[in-house]
Structure 1
Amino acid sequence: MRVTVSFVLLIATLASLAAAAPANGSSGSSSSSSSRRQKSVIQLISDGFGPASETFARSFVQARDNLQWNDTLALDKSIVGTIRTRSTDSLVTDSAASATAYSCGIKSVNAYIGVDIDQKPCGTVLEAAKQKGYNTALVTTSRSTHATPASYAAHVPDRDDENTIAEHMLGGTVLGARVDLIWGGGRRHFLPNTTSGSSRKDGRDLIGEATSAGWSYLSTRAEFDALNNGSDVQLPSLGLFTSSHMSYEIDRLAQNSTVQEPSLAQMAITALNALKKQDEPFFIMIEGARIDHAGHNNDPIGHLHDILAYQELWTAVSRWVDANDASQSSDDPEIVLLSTSDHECGGLTLALQRPEDEEAEYAWYPDVLNNSTHSTEYLAAQFYEYAEAENRTEGELRDYMVQSILPSLGQSDIDEDETARALELAREDDDGLALTIYLASLVNWRAHLGWSTTGHSGLDVNLYLHVAPQHAQQKLAASFVGNHENTWIGSWTASWLELDLASVTRQLNNGTLVGAAGEGSANLTTPTGRYHGGPKHVLPALPPRRRSVGYSHKENTMLRAEERSHSMASKRRAHAEL
């Protein structure tokens, strides 16, 4: 007998609330008064943000603001260690395997979300925190179903299965709903296929199911502002502000204020205030996602401004911790703020020997970025939108490129040959990626910035720590000093919060996942291709993918380099659809 999906989701939500209330004598049992003394963790993740990117942003700010060489950024003051990032099948991880290390404390395979190397689900720190009675939240500037947030609340062997991930995040596993607040982009994975802009292949309306099960829902700037900085948030809360990823920070700043997407810092502080209002301990993961996406495009403009937005996030959340941790006189802080990255992206270097340079120049030029006003992904999308609106002449396309696109790069010396090359790539390239990267290269060449890849790199990433009492910071930092495997983050979080990951893992593997009909099948044994690891895993180069009918370049998932860099499974699907 098939029950309605809304009823299933409602039962899952109620079941999760019951499971979150610990039984007497269990390890998670606590009175209301004692739970206030339990510890909370704020986990920040700067996707694709490597050590060179921190230096890149610091040097830019020093040059732009005429600061001294020893003036540093907010994060610089809180570095305590470094993190190794490899996955089980490659020295170069993807976000899925890395975030699974952070969420489950185990190594896994690239493209795997919340599952081990045998595709068996692993309990996450978020799920275990909810089981202990904590409030939980995920905030991101990517699609909320993207790899990093997904790895805390979903269990699938293919990161590209974002429709199933959406179901899991709302309670479509044996655990029921484990997240109290989900804010980010990705609305298209929650809408039925009868709705314009949906990416689902079935008719499930997950937003409708969620609201029927008691979730509050918001999608606009006005609805976000109505939350009154968190005081009027009703949990559980689902906020989906865009169809796909949220905008790059530099593009967001150009939006009209009445429709402007909330910034990462605004979402974070509002979410933290909402959690604080519950007067219970909490776990929250907050991701600055688009640093990575700009790295995939080798775009220094988008990369820079999302890094600066992440610095603002760190400052805002650090101050929030200082104001809200009640253990100011204790050696044992109530709230621990961590920040790290899942991996580096782009292989950024702060110098470049160009083909026309007879010898290496020991310099790079931050001021080249001073007048840039948009990400190159945005600019490429704008050009294609203009070109496709009607039959444009070559002269019209050239004028638009010269008058509306190239000036946003902030370079006054772009010559005719460079303009002609941009137009040539726009004609030849069916999905905008080549134009996106070429526009970025016009800035990189002038700034003397080098990129070794449009994918990830195997670099270690930095680890940052902040707690409110300064003496507690010094004491706690001692355990963070040094170089750690990325699984250490998940294990440390579980230990610090006294979470039982093994119990959650057993529940996931012994139960039957909820809502498994149709596309929502929760089959966790479907094999997925592993990528990297030698020539036998390399696919032949794919011809350009035809754009999907009904998607503009703004929403075309194949526009971005980061969308092309993940699993072999996704590449095989793209090839099959040609």
Structure 2
Amino acid sequence: MRSQSRTRWISAGGVAVLASALATGSVAMGDRHGGKDAGHHGSSNSKVAKNVVLMVGDGLSIAARDAIRLATVGKDGRLAMDRLRYAGWTYTDSEDPDEAVTDSAAAATALATGVRTYNGAVSVDVDGRAHTTLLQHAKKLRKSTGLVTTAQVTDATPAAFGSHVPDRADQSEIARQFLDVTKPDVILGGGEDWWYPAGDEGAYPDDPDDPRPEVSRSTKGNLVERARSMGYQYVTNGSQLAAARGHKLLGLFANEEMFEQAPEGQGDEYAPVVPLATMTTKALDVLDDDRQGFFLLVEEEGIDEMEHANNATQMLAAGEAFDDTVAVVHAYAKRHPGTLVVVVGDHETGGLAIENVDADDESGDEDSTSDDVLQSLEDGPFPIEGSDLEFTIDWTTGSHTGAATPLTAEGPGSERLAQAQKNTHVFDVLLASMRGGR
């Protein structure tokens, strides 16, 4: 998740110009289509998506999807994400000069802007030039917008839709840009540490028993109070979220991620204060009031983070929660024709493989003294739902791999995603579907 950014690829002057423009909200956005309308793609122009919901399973590979399927609905069952009408896959290559495999920031930038970039970059290209995101395009079309995630709301994936920074680590600047530049109507997730200045711990203070300090660290002042002054209703728990009214909503439900990522038995937990499906339901309720429609990003971060820890048990829990959320969105789309739903993984994590239970087929070294080696032993066995059979999950790495990721979609323009494609093509299709003939 946290690859080193390639900020040396951006000239100091370019960064200064970008920072100055973003400070005033007047950045001149680049467009890789050379100013031409990306919506002109033949017959799909007549199919207008009033609403677009892009659902990103961070680290969600085809193997991970299958493991979630086996564990939750069995061999003959189908996940909610598998019930969408069209299926394809996406190549995840970034434009990084040093690494063959993408990180989440570059992968999200490709989905958000249609531009490939270096690892660590958030919606800027390799020259530091900002590119218009799908969220911003939706704003131009007078649509409401929202970001929902179990990560920090300022983490790489939501950040790529609502900000432009050369380094994904600059999370307080990302939060500031949410408020001053891109202005999503709904922002729900974790990461309050990046909204409060040092010394003001907000609703979720650091746990002294956690070996990883998680303390407030905003470099832009008290951004929660800033949001309130701009008309956002601020909530910190499920009951407050349920009671919230109005059209501008900020909810931060953890100091960092909304779970604890770690190997099994080492403090790992997947139990968000507010489930992803609940946050998404509320976002849909708020955004649904806009007659022009909306754009909503929904991300489940727990899949990726648990894969980094080679924790199959919690990865499956996060995957099931993500699929429950897909079911919520799909049901909404069925009730609201003109809604485009796209489910995609941004990259693969862990080199996950599904295997038979076989004591003689352990690929790791059980006698090793290395935590990294021991972490990557097989996980399981896990029961296959509705069966007497079991399977194990084997890992090859605690990092990302370059594997393509599965995509399923339904709604206006979704048939154009039923192919092998670059991840930038997802941007093309979603923008064309939102614009229609305009």
For the aligned pair, the TM-score class normalised by the smaller chain equals 0.7 to 0.9
Moved more, 75-84 or 131-140: 75-84
Structure (1 or 2) with the larger CA radius of gyration: 1
Kindly state the Cα deviation for residue 495 of structure 1 after the two structures are TM-superposed. 1.6
The answer to whether the aligner puts 1:72 opposite 2:81 as a matched pair is no
Find 2:410's aligned residue among 437, 462, 466: 466
Aligned mates of 1:187, 1:55 — CA distance in 2 = 34
Find 1:182's aligned residue among 180, 187, 193: 187
The change in CA–CA distance for 1:479 and 1:189 in structure 2 (over 3 A counts) is: same
Query: Which SS does the other structure have where 2:355 is aligned?
Result: coil
Aligned mates of 2:60, 2:400 — CA distance in 1 = 10
Alignment partner, residue 13 of structure 2? none
How do 1:53-92 and structure 2 match up within 5 A? 53-62=64-73, 69-78=75-84, 79-89=86-96, 90-92=99-101
The answer to whether the aligner puts 1:345 opposite 2:349 as a matched pair is yes
Could you tell me whether the CA contact under 8 Å between 2:146 and 2:185 is conserved in 1? yes
Amino acid at match of 1:77: R
The change in CA–CA distance for 1:440 and 1:263 in structure 2 (over 3 A counts) is: farther
Amino acid at match of 1:125: L
Deviation track 1:221-269 (CA, whole Å, cap 9, x = no partner) reads 2211213xxxx2x22211111100012699455xxxxxx7111111111
Aligned mates of 1:352, 1:279 — CA distance in 2 = 51
Alignment partner, residue 303 of structure 1? 315
Alignment partner, residue 45 of structure 1? 56
Could you tell me whether the CA contact under 8 Å between 1:248 and 1:302 is conserved in 2? no
Amino acid at match of 2:341: L
Query: Which SS does the other structure have where 2:100 is aligned?
Result: coil
Alignment partner, residue 150 of structure 1? 159
Could you tell me whether the CA contact under 8 Å between 1:132 and 1:499 is conserved in 2? no
Alignment partner, residue 124 of structure 1? 133
Aligned mates of 2:353, 2:422 — CA distance in 1 = 24
The answer to whether the aligner puts 1:110 opposite 2:119 as a matched pair is yes
Deviation track 1:392-441 (CA, whole Å, cap 9, x = no partner) reads xxxxxxxxxxxxxxxxxxxxxxxxxx9xx99x98xxxxxxxx49x85784
Amino acid at match of 2:423: N
Amino acid at match of 1:194: G
Amino acid at match of 1:271: A
Could you tell me whether the CA contact under 8 Å between 1:48 and 1:291 is conserved in 2? yes
Kindly state the Cα deviation for residue 72 of structure 1 after the two structures are TM-superposed. 2.4
Kindly state the Cα deviation for residue 158 of structure 1 after the two structures are TM-superposed. 0.8
Alignment partner, residue 497 of structure 1? 434
Query: Which SS does the other structure have where 1:86 is aligned?
Result: coil
Could you tell me whether the CA contact under 8 Å between 2:354 and 2:394 is conserved in 1? yes
The change in CA–CA distance for 1:88 and 1:353 in structure 2 (over 3 A counts) is: farther
Kindly state the Cα deviation for residue 285 of structure 1 after the two structures are TM-superposed. 0.5
Kindly state the Cα deviation for residue 70 of structure 1 after the two structures are TM-superposed. 2.4
Find 2:228's aligned residue among 211, 221, 234: 211
Kindly state the Cα deviation for residue 448 of structure 1 after the two structures are TM-superposed. 3.6
Amino acid at match of 1:106: V
Alignment partner, residue 562 of structure 1? none
The answer to whether the aligner puts 1:479 opposite 2:392 as a matched pair is no
Aligned mates of 2:123, 2:220 — CA distance in 1 = 26
Aligned mates of 2:422, 2:220 — CA distance in 1 = 42
The change in CA–CA distance for 1:101 and 1:439 in structure 2 (over 3 A counts) is: closer
Higher relative contact order, chain-length normalized (CA < 8 Å, sep 6+): 2
Aligned mates of 2:161, 2:136 — CA distance in 1 = 7
Kindly state the Cα deviation for residue 460 of structure 1 after the two structures are TM-superposed. 0.6
The change in CA–CA distance for 1:214 and 1:61 in structure 2 (over 3 A counts) is: closer
How do 1:308-319 and structure 2 match up within 5 A? 308-319=320-331
Deviation track 1:516-574 (CA, whole Å, cap 9, x = no partner) reads xxxxxxxxxxxxxxxxxxxxxxxxxxxxxxxxxxxxxxxxxxxxxxxxxxxxxxxxxxx
Alignment partner, residue 520 of structure 1? none
Structure 1 spans left out of the alignment, 5+ residues: 1-10, 17-26, 29-36, 254-259, 326-333, 362-417, 426-433, 501-578
Alignment partner, residue 281 of structure 1? 293
Aligned mates of 1:444, 1:335 — CA distance in 2 = 39
Amino acid at match of 1:107: R
Could you tell me whether the CA contact under 8 Å between 2:270 and 2:314 is conserved in 1? no
How do 1:218-297 and structure 2 match up within 5 A? 218-227=235-244, 232=245, 234-247=246-259, 251=269, 253=271, 261-297=273-309
Could you tell me whether the CA contact under 8 Å between 2:59 and 2:345 is conserved in 1? yes
The change in CA–CA distance for 1:134 and 1:287 in structure 2 (over 3 A counts) is: same
The change in CA–CA distance for 1:318 and 1:145 in structure 2 (over 3 A counts) is: same
Moved more, 284-293 or 70-79: 70-79
Query: Which SS does the other structure have where 1:350 is aligned?
Result: strand
Find 1:453's aligned residue among 397, 400, 409: 397
Alignment partner, residue 10 of structure 2? none
Query: Which SS does the other structure have where 1:277 is aligned?
Result: coil
Q: Give the number of the structure whose residues are more often helix, by fraction.
A: 1
Alignment partner, residue 335 of structure 1? 339
Aligned mates of 1:84, 1:177 — CA distance in 2 = 28
Could you tell me whether the CA contact under 8 Å between 1:347 and 1:453 is conserved in 2? yes
Structure 2 spans left out of the alignment, 5+ residues: 1-22, 28-37, 40-47, 206-214, 262-267, 383-390
The change in CA–CA distance for 1:73 and 1:204 in structure 2 (over 3 A counts) is: same
Amino acid at match of 1:82: W
Amino acid at match of 1:488: H
Amino acid at match of 2:232: W
Aligned mates of 1:97, 1:203 — CA distance in 2 = 25
Alignment partner, residue 191 of structure 1? 196
Could you tell me whether the CA contact under 8 Å between 1:269 and 1:320 is conserved in 2? no
Query: Which SS does the other structure have where 1:151 is aligned?
Result: helix
Amino acid at match of 1:306: A
Deviation track 1:163-195 (CA, whole Å, cap 9, x = no partner) reads 211111121xxxx34311110000000001132
Q: Give the number of the structure whose residues are more often strand, by fraction.
A: 2
Query: Which SS does the other structure have where 2:281 is aligned?
Result: helix
Query: Which SS does the other structure have where 1:497 is aligned?
Result: helix
Query: Which SS does the other structure have where 1:182 is aligned?
Result: strand
Aligned mates of 1:480, 1:439 — CA distance in 2 = 36
Kindly state the Cα deviation for residue 80 of structure 1 after the two structures are TM-superposed. 1.3
* Aligned residue-pair number: 367
Aligned mates of 2:409, 2:137 — CA distance in 1 = 22
Kindly state the Cα deviation for residue 77 of structure 1 after the two structures are TM-superposed. 2.8
Could you tell me whether the CA contact under 8 Å between 1:163 and 1:189 is conserved in 2? yes
Could you tell me whether the CA contact under 8 Å between 2:61 and 2:406 is conserved in 1? yes
Percent same amino acid at aligned positions?
28
Query: Which SS does the other structure have where 2:416 is aligned?
Result: coil
TM-score, normalised by the number of residues in structure 2: 0.76
Aligned mates of 2:67, 2:49 — CA distance in 1 = 38
Could you tell me whether the CA contact under 8 Å between 2:357 and 2:381 is conserved in 1? no
Amino acid at match of 1:205: N
